[in-house]
Structure 1
């Protein structure tokens, strides 16, 4: 005889109906296919005949997964139409496919079905269904406001500071604003932002958009409501803010110190410019992907440090990737609790749920497994060094988009691996966390406990 919980579980998930995580995954896959088709059109590229399927699908995957890795130069390989398609894919990918679909649904029918709310909550990492509509509207409002402000600042700088024609200046401002807020890293300059490395009027607005986008929409909306009332901040908001500040400070100090005398990067610059470039590169490790120095010329120690920061990433339910600051913080506090000999894991005056322990450990172990397998596979397929391949793999998985310059030289199999990494990196943590939360089952018995020897 079935238990009540089993009957309830079956009633909630009818046979033949996809799990919300599966719906999200399918949505991103369909968006990539549509983007690929548009980028393969002859009008999408300046040359005759259009681009190959591999170039189109790689670019579409990178754009919809807000990564920024490319096999062709975005500035020269695509026409204005192609660049507009890439920009739209970035914006849709930053919103999230289900969030974007919900925006369209709200605009047309002005209501959401229960299943749409469940799916959108799964994608956005929302804790409940009652706040989904507000979350969606907040995501749209915040995105457009930040992108508009940064676009105006960049457009004015390109227009006044560099003498770009008005139309060109506005297009550069809009494209880089959307790309930076969505942590995508796509740029319309062949050298990314190296030509503007010492210009704070370009680098700082871009960095600000990246930081704001990387906080995550729940944090941004809570700060907007309770900026002057920190006692009302949730544990998630406090962890993200403290972690963000710590990573930015440590990243800036680390990169600047290691690269200070490197003649190929910071060596020729004066000290204010070194600090600006060091800070800008530390911001990019939050999964943005722009670069104001040649990443391929950076010291191996810098690359390793950036690997760690790229893996951690930004805040959850935002445009950043990685395992997320909250996941890393949970593991850190678990370790700290064990070292202190305490029982409960307490974070900022609150006790951490044991279910969160399991989710964080699962996500990290899966991430390490995916990165390890992918790196070994690329080592077997290519002749690039471990430093380069590990950096490329973590950059793809963390949806960062920075590269040492080896992406275009990858064999077909290598590029397929990178596409899978971008796809998993954009969806994996969300899909895994939602699947773990929705797959919880109640049992009427417990097995006897036994402890293996640890350490």
Structure 2
């Protein structure tokens, strides 16, 4: 057991499991749900996993089922999940003891993707300040809009502003409305701050740190270049595709004004980047929009951020590998930097594990339920990529299917590689290399 716990990936996994148990217990308390709630174990567990894994899939209406206490528990779970269980443990250790133990440092290094143990203390502090600043700015913007634009009472405006700012930055997708944010789909003063928060949270802390230094793009690291320009490309594709496919006569934005379609397309193109807010009814979108959304969800956002998916860097590294192979280049080069074989294998492993998991889970869901295959695939990808978008079938999925979705959310948040490392008892190191052979490929 001592060997198992010494591995940082296992510590992160065990930390998530512990918080899941505590969150479920809190949501089972009578004070956590309204009279219309039932205190159901599966509902509490599903909501806890969805919140901690910053997904946003729900089987009940957050606003009417959960009391203010229950909503506050969900908000705390979202913040813990986005910031990282082990990062939070590091802050507690610094506060209580004023120093870091080796195991805690290793776990925080895994969760923050820092390059050395000496960087952990400073990185955690900068992360916390950055999170509070971004969430604070979005909180003020949303609160003022709810108060001045919709005449909310100050207490309601403050609570809704806080809840949705935290949910947006952490790419959680939880909302205090039965229709998510469909009612604000054409309001740029609500959709805009949400999009800013989710994009910044989805870039990842290493990228935000480098951008704040004010360096010129040509001096950026390869990771920052891939994340920033890849995210911009996917945003443009997502917004353009949503505009084209949903502005037609059969689209969800048919008949809207030009400005309304622009705001709707902005949310429709960015929310699938693991934010999970519903700007439209995804059960009514065109099949083309549904397919593009599934692709965007699967790719996700930046590494070491609050977004899910296989990550945009993984996708672009694999694209660079293919491009180099097509051109016959011996090395994979991005931004005048050679990408090592270990990074290539890691990207390939993450992608193939994700594809295999999504396909297997979709087939299993088809066995467990009679719901449409396309909707089930959409739900599975949304859960694994910790997005939270749904065509409206989550509550209709049987208990066994909901447990499967919980497992997918857990695996998607921690990542297939991290979970595999957490379950491995030992790491093998070969001290020799076998003869090389070239099997026929293709």
Q: Secondary structure at the match of 1:210?
A: helix
Q: TM-score if structure 2 supplies the norm length?
A: 0.96
Q: Deviations over 1:411-430 (max 9, x none)?
A: 00000000000000001246
Q: Kindly state the Cα deviation for residue 17 of structure 1 after the two structures are TM-superposed.
A: 3.9
Are 2:64 and 1:73 aligned?
Answer: no
Residue 146 of structure 2 aligns with which residue? Answer: 158
Residue 296 of structure 1 aligns to a residue in which SS? coil
Alignment of 1:349-428 (within 5 A): 349-428=336-415
Instruction: Give 1:272 shift.
Output: 2.2
Matching of residues 268-417 of structure 1 within 5 Å:
268-417=255-404
Q: Which residue of 1 aligns with 2:440?
A: 453
Partner of residue 431, structure 1: 418
Give 2:74's aligned residue.
86
Moved over 4 A (4+): 432-442
Question: How far does the alpha carbon of each residue in 1:346-368 deviate from its partner, in whole angstroms, 9 at most, with x for none?
Answer: 00110001100111111111101
> How far did residue 443 of structure 1 move?
3.1
Q: 1:100 and 2:93 equivalent?
A: no
2-structure distance, mates of 1:16, 1:364: 26
Matching residue of 2:18:
30
3-state secondary structure, aligned to 2:439: coil
One of 213, 230, 254 as aligned partner of 2:201: 213
Answer whether contact 2:37 2:66 (CA < 8 A) is retained.
Answer: no
Map 1:249-260; keep pairs closer than 5 Å. Answer: 249-260=236-247
TM-score norm. by structure 1 comes to 0.94
In 2, the alpha carbon distance for the partners of 1:47 and 1:261 equals 43
Cα distance change of structure 1 residues 433 and 329 upon mapping to structure 2, 3 Å threshold: farther
Distance in 2, Cα, partners of 1:243 & 1:436:
32
Residue deviations 1:303-329 (CA, integer Å, cap 9, x gap) = 111111101000001100000011101
User: What stretches of structure 1 of length at least 5 have no aligned partner?
Assistant: 1-12
> What is the total number of aligned residue pairs between the two structures?
442
Flag the 1:48–1:240 CA change in 2: closer, same or farther, 3 A.
closer
> Are 2:234 and 1:247 aligned?
yes
- RMSD (CA atoms): 1.9
Aligned residue among 201, 207, 211 for 1:223? 211
In the alignment, the residues of structure 2 paired with residue 98 and residue 149 of structure 1 have an alpha-carbon distance, to the nearest angstrom, of 26
| Separation of aligned partners in 2, 1:15 and 1:143 | 34
